[in-house]
Amino acid sequence: MKIYNNRSYDEPKRQYEEEVLVMEMEDEVYKLVVHNDDVNTFDFVIMCLIDICEHTPEQAEQCTMLIHYKGKCTVKTGALEKLKPMHHALLDKGLSSEIV
């Protein structure tokens, strides 16, 4: 708040500044989840995550460990249009995935 002095104490002139928060519309965020299975090897899952989901080797390895020990892992988030091709590619490779 800025106060300007005009020597009149009966009617001081004041100028107020207000901040207005604007909410931006966000796309709905979907999750691509890969589930554990007893068929695919660690190396194969890591390779698929690198090739299909564009993970770094470290990121793919961490996700694969989570898939193995927790039963599933969210490997990618984003718009449905972005995740659908990845989901179908993972299914084509024999991995179990879903979009939630």
Average pLDDT over residues 79-93: 97
Render the chain in DSSP notation, one character per residue.
Answer: -EEE--S-SSS-EEE-------PPP-PPPEEEEEE--SSS-HHHHHHHHHHHH---HHHHHHHHHHHHHHSEEEEEEE-HHHHHHHHHHHHHTT-EEEE-
Q: Is residue 60 very low, low, confident or very high in pLDDT (cuts 50, 70, 90)?
A: very high
Interval 9-43: pLDDT, tens: 666 666 656 676 665 555 579 999 999 999 999 99
